[in-house]
Amino acid sequence: MSKALYPGSFDPITYGHLDVVQRAQKLFTQLTVAVVENPRKAPLFNTTERKALVEKALDEMGIADVPVITYSGLLIECAKGLGVTAVVRGLRAMSDFDYEFQMALTNRDLDSGVESVFLMTAGRYSFLSSSIVKEVKQYGGDTSKFVPRCVERALEKKFGLA
92 is an active site residue: yes
Candidates 3, 23, 80, 92; catalytic one? 92
Mean pLDDT of the chain: 95
- CATH assignment at residue 46: 3.40.50.620
The pLDDT value recorded for residue 93 is 77
Closest residue by Cα to residue 3 from 66, 51, 61, 48: 66
Q: Is residue 79 pLDDT above 80, yes or no?
A: yes
Q: Which domain holds residue 60?
A: 3-158
130 is an active site residue: yes
- Pairwise CA distance, residues 115 & 88, whole Å: 9
Q: What is the pLDDT of residues 47-59, one digit of tens each?
A: 999 999 999 999 9
The pLDDT value recorded for residue 141 is 96
Instruction: Give me the number of domains the chain comprises.
Output: 1
